[in-house]
């Protein structure tokens, strides 16, 4: 107890303990009960090896800098780094930045995820949670936190909340192909029949196409900055068969191309940028082919142009062509393992999660069931 200069009596309670390194540490509290609860919890953490003194810990904002620095040092993808930096700047730092990593609680993480789900979207909350978990794992590794309190937190997205895959119909695909010519037509053909990602097509070289054996080898990709590199995962390196008509068109297209390694190149011989491909090539093609939709603002309302008419835009993003390839393969009866390999998925489960709903065929199911039991039930 002590007295202030005005003579007012004051009191405080001090909790004392010895940490795992044998160093004596103290913390002061206003109430005795608070000190007792804290000391009891701290002693359990010391025994479990999960206690980190507040003076040793750092804030989540400081830990984010260390974590991002480690990712850069490890040579992570530039696009991955950009995504994590945006999550830290927009979602982590504003609400959790000043919290010590050792003092962060599971309930704080749950409230943070709920806030993101309500103010942004569940998809944003889920991506941000992945980043926070990785950050806290790094904090545990460096000794700034005793455990990852976010490890058991989940953001569940119900099946009804997941956005349905946008898959162009066969009629729409025909209209797009009929309206296309030159490089964009060959780009469409490879996307629709081989399921290559846009980045893989932008990085495709003529040496990757074996017209004699009717094969396309996926060996590299062009990122959003047009830098060529290997696919993101080992499963991305794969070989896909080419349909004969596609081979014939590629052979004609090859003869009309100027010298260069890239199959689809800009006027300067570099990979076509994603924005030019989407806005200057694919969107105008969709409008010409009559495959369009109303342009909508952030609130989902249709936008009216300066001429008083509805503002039209392309109905699909480029990735929808890859979905079309998967859909066509499934309809043709391609087995699940081939589907996984051709799509460059790391596991069959990933393929099922993404395209399992397209594999349902009630008419075919009935035929299979009847055929399997026919010789047993016929009298």
**Residue that has been written with the tokens 């009629």 in this structure:** 171
Tell me the average pLDDT of the chain: 86
- Which one has a higher pLDDT value, 113 or 32? 113
Confidence of residue 146 (pLDDT cuts 50, 70, 90): confident
Q: Please tell me the distance from the alpha carbon of residue 27 to that of residue 25, in angstroms, as a whole number.
A: 7
Q: What is the pLDDT of residue 199?
A: 96
Q: What is the pLDDT of residue 368?
A: 60
Q: Which of 187, 175, 166, 190 is nearest to 291 (CA)?
A: 175
Measured distance between the N- and C-terminal CA atoms of the chain, rounded to whole angstroms? 98
Q: What is the mean pLDDT of residues 65-82?
A: 93
pLDDT beyond 70 at 280: yes
Answer CATH for 60-161 from 3.40.50.970, 1.10.150.130, 1.10.760.10, 2.40.10.10: 1.10.150.130
Q: What is the mean pLDDT of residues 47-53?
A: 60
Q: Domain 170-339+352-356 belongs to what architecture?
A: Orthogonal Bundle (1.10)
**Could you state, in order of their start, the residue ranges of all structural domains in the chain?**
2-48, 60-161, 170-339+352-356
Percent of the chain whose pLDDT exceeds 70: 80
Confidence of residue 103 (pLDDT cuts 50, 70, 90): confident
Question: One fold for both 60-161 and 170-339+352-356?
Answer: no
User: Could you count the other beta carbons within 10 Å of the beta carbon of residue 323?
Assistant: 19
Q: What is the mean pLDDT of residues 345-350?
A: 94
Q: What is the mean pLDDT of residues 217-241?
A: 94
Q: Is the dihedral of CA 310, 313, 314, 316 positive or negative?
A: negative
Token code pair at residue 42: 């701290």
Q: What is the mean pLDDT of residues 232-254?
A: 95
**Least confident residue range of 242-246, 295-299, 351-355, 367-371:** 367-371
Element (DSSP H or E) covering residue 27: strand 24-29
Q: What is the mean pLDDT of residues 348-376?
A: 76
Instruction: Answer whether 96's CB lies under 8 Å from 104's CB.
Output: yes
pTM of the model: 0.76
Token code pair at residue 106: 């599971």
Q: What is the pLDDT of residue 294?
A: 86
- Which one has a higher pLDDT value, 304 or 34? 304
Q: Please tell me the distance from the alpha carbon of residue 101 to that of residue 94, in angstroms, as a whole number.
A: 15
């Amino acid at each position: 107890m002590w007295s202030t200069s005005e003579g007012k009596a004051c009191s405080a309670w001090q909790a004392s303990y010895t940490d795992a390194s044998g160093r004596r540490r103290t913390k002061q509290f206003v109430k005795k009960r608070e000190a007792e609860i804290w000391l009891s919890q701290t002693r359990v953490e010391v025994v479990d090896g999960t206690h980190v003194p507040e003076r040793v810990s750092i804030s989540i904002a400081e830990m984010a800098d260390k974590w991002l620095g480690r990712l850069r040092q490890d040579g992570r993808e530039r696009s991955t780094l950009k995504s994590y930096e945006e999550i830290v700047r927009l979602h982590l730092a504003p609400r959790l930045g000043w919290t010590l990593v050792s003092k962060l609680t599971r309930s704080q993480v749950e409230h943070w995820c709920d806030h993101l789900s309500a103010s942004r979207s569940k998809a944003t909350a889920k991506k941000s949670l992945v980043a926070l978990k990785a950050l806290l794992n790094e904090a545990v590794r460096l000794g700034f936190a005793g455990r990852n309190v976010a490890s058991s937190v989940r953001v569940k997205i119900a099946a009804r909340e997941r956005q349905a895959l946008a898959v162009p119909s066969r009629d729409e695909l025909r209209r797009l192909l009929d309206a296309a010519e030159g490089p964009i037509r060959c780009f469409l053909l490879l996307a629709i029949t081989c399921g290559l990602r846009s980045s893989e097509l932008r990085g495709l070289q003529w040496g990757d196409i074996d017209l004699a054996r009717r094969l396309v080898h996926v060996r590299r990709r062009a990122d959003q900055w047009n830098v060529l590199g290997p696919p993101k995962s080992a499963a991305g390196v794969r070989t896909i068969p080419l349909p004969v008509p596609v081979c014939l068109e590629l052979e004609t297209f090859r003869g009309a191309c100027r010298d260069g390694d890239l199959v689809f190149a800009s006027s300067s011989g570099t990979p076509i940028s994603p924005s030019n491909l989407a806005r200057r090539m694919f969107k105008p093609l969709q409008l010409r082919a009559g495959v369009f939709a109303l342009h909508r603002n952030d609130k989902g309302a249709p936008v009216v142009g300066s001429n008083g008419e509805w503002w039209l835009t392309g109905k699909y993003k480029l990735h929808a062509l890859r979905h079309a390839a998967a859909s066509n393969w499934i309809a043709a009866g391609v087995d699940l393992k081939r589907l996984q390999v051709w799509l460059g998925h790391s596991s069959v489960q990933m393929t099922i999660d993404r395209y399992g709903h397209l594999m349902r065929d009630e008419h075919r199911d009935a035929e299979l069931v009847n055929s399997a039991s026919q010789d047993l039930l016929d009298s």
